[in-house]
Amino acid sequence: MTPWTDASMMNDLVVVSNTVWAATGGGALAQTRGSALPVKFTTVNGLSANALTAVANCSLPGLGIVFGSGAGLQIADPRTGRWQTWTPANSGMKAQDVSALYCDTENQFLVIGYAEHGIDIYDVAADRWRHMDRSSGLAANDVKRLAVAGDRDAIWVVSSDGVTVAAGPDSDFYTPDNSPLTSTRVGAVAVDAAGNAWLGGEGVLYRVDGERWDVYDAQAVNGDFPTRLIAGIAPDGDGTLWLGSIDAEICHFDPDQQRCVDFFRNASGMAQGPVTNLVLAAPDQPYYSTDGNGYSTYDGRLWRTFSVPGQEIRGNRIKALALDDDQALWIATDAGVQRLVGGKATVFDAENSGITPFAVRTLQAGAGGGMWVGGSQGASFFDGTEWANFTGADGLAGDTVQAIANDDQNRTWFGTDQGISVWNGDLFFNITSDLGLPSGNIRALVAAGPVMWIGSQGGGLYKFDNGQLQVFNKRNVGLPSDTVTALAIDEQGDLWIGTDRGVASFDGRRWRRLLRSHRRSSRPSWPASIAFGWGRRTRVCTFLMATIGINTGPVRVSLPIM
């Protein structure tokens, strides 16, 4: 199996000697300065995960170039090219949802930030681990950014709730209520050689020296200054700093002069944002990474951008898959809807289709060809040449389309948040709560001959057959939940039902409850999809985790339909 990933979507980078290492949504990237093509490492090369969140140079015994991921630490040995994975199973790590990293090779420690589990502090020399979370000094468990002063004299932890400064057994917590912070949205943190902490906010830079706070923004400084969230801060050796905003506004800031001695926006050779981090390879040599456009570097005279050529797809957050009648693969990602033929993608985005990438939720080949796209902007159809867009104003039951399926009469069914719409090629017929649906929030659809199976949020499972609508739920057939999030038909014709509380099946005679969710937290733990493949086609039904719904009894409703 060969993974198709987009390594231009970079979350972090570090420069080690003459090599740039990038943590991307599509694997690890290594590019020697001066070389035209980078080397990409994925699960094929030994990684346990392709979606990498952070990277740090940690050339200490047993370590190397350390990458964070949702599957723990992915560690590369630059000398041998070998990879190893650290998780709670083979190390002192308390979790594996790594979101941030900080390594100090001089003092020989590594700090690991987790998306939901606080931080770990690993003393490499002593081989000793220490964990901190809300129960032991942190104000919140979700870690966005990390910085450390000295030999763990103060550990700065940025979370969505504010900033924690952990020093020994004591901690301070800063929010807009007790500090000059104007918002809890902090995009970057760094500590300079003098021990001052620098925080990047929305168009504002903070310097914290003990109890003293200095605030720099467009009103306080002279000349140009970043106006958006500061996503990267890199102290230089002369007391200045390099700042990068998410919109790729790059500022070389001198605190003494209170101005950007150099300021760049949309200069030739600069990559477009959003910027994810900024680092220095040497004095006055900034590098910044972007989410989708590679990375850029400045040599004192010119900017240059490096992206990854030949990527099969754009984006790494796959939201839906479908095959059209020509067996071309359609993929919906955060970068747009894409049609792949021969490993080359045609990307449809807001400019050439009217579809905003983040709005897409589902894909379905048309009953007579073409491709349907559904999402929070309604439904769109591509006939091979042009796009047609439909919303509630055109007759859809609701503007948010969450599922699409074709029946045996070449009609197309749409599951919306307000009911079901059936398209006959000319107009929509709608089935809503007003016509007897226990819940009009439709999450899944699958056809089995003349029968259309319909999954709802809170109303259970519906069967539409010969103008009759029948309801199945927890109470009358023992479904794990009345929130049905995915449906699929296997090769034997059995119906598989995914819910937010487990999986069930129905063979036409007997209902079976197969799996049940045992969740330790409020976050869902089910896989993203179920797929049954036969021949050259694969039907994919997406699990959309939702809250537990209501119980309803048996219902049978007669409905006229076109």
| Token pair of 201 as six digits | 């906010």
Q: How many helices (H) and strands (E) does the chain have?
A: 2, 51
Closest by CA to 521, choosing from 43, 129, 115, is: 115
Residue 409 makes CB contacts below 8 A (sequence gap 6+) with none
Chain-centroid distance of CA 102 in Å reads 22
Per-residue DSSP letters for 208-225?
A: EETTEEEEEETTTSBS--
**Residues paired with 533 in a beta bridge:** 538
Cβ atoms of 111 and 102 within 8 Å: the answer is: yes
Alpha-carbon distances of 117 from 93, 129, 141, rounded to whole Å: 10, 15, 5
Give pLDDT, residue 172: 93
Cβ atoms of 184 and 160 within 8 Å: the answer is: yes
Closest by CA to 549, choosing from 477, 488, 461, is: 461
CB half-sphere exposure, 410, CA atoms < 13 A = 6
| Token pair of 170 as six digits | 């004591």
Q: 394 — alpha (psi -120 to 50), left (phi > 0) or beta?
A: alpha
Rounded (5°) CA angle 42-45-50: 20
| Token pair of 160 as six digits | 């969505």
Strand order from edge to edge, sheet including 241-245: 230-235, 241-245, 249-254, 259-265
Give pLDDT, residue 518: 47
Residue 504 makes CB contacts below 8 A (sequence gap 6+) with 478, 479, 480, 496, 497, 511, 512, 513, 514
Distance between CA atoms of residues 510 and 498, nearest Å = 16
Profile the chain (562 residues) by mean pLDDT over runs of 10 residues: 85 94 95 85 93 96 96 92 94 97 97 97 96 92 96 95 86 95 96 96 97 95 96 95 98 97 96 96 94 93 88 84 91 90 84 88 93 96 94 95 95 96 94 91 95 96 92 94 95 94 93 66 38 33 26 42 48
The residue ranges of every structural domain in the chain are 320-558
Distance between CA atoms of residues 32 and 381, nearest Å = 44
Residue 33's CB is within 10 A of a number of other CB atoms, namely 12
Cβ atoms of 258 and 220 within 8 Å: the answer is: yes
Question: Residue 352 carries which DSSP code?
Answer: H
| CATH classification for the domain delimited by 320-558, as one of 3.40.630.10, 2.60.120.10, 2.130.10.10, 3.30.390.30 | 2.130.10.10
Give φ, ψ of 359 to 5 degrees: -80, -20
Strand ranges inside 320-359, DSSP E: 320-323, 329-333, 336-341, 344-348
Cβ atoms of 452 and 466 within 8 Å: the answer is: no
Distance between CA atoms of residues 368 and 383, nearest Å = 9
Distance between CA atoms of residues 35 and 476, nearest Å = 65
Closest by CA to 275, choosing from 233, 219, 313, is: 233
Give φ, ψ of 44 to 5 degrees: -65, -30
The structure's pTM equals 0.79
Closest by CA to 287, choosing from 104, 507, 19, is: 19
| Token pair of 167 as six digits | 């020093």
Which strand (E) or helix (H) includes residue 391?
A: none
Cβ atoms of 348 and 361 within 8 Å: the answer is: no
Strand order from edge to edge, sheet including 154-159: 145-149, 154-159, 162-167, 170-174
List alpha helices for 53-119, DSSP H: none
Alpha-carbon distances of 489 from 147, 444, 449, 452, 540, rounded to whole Å: 51, 12, 11, 11, 10
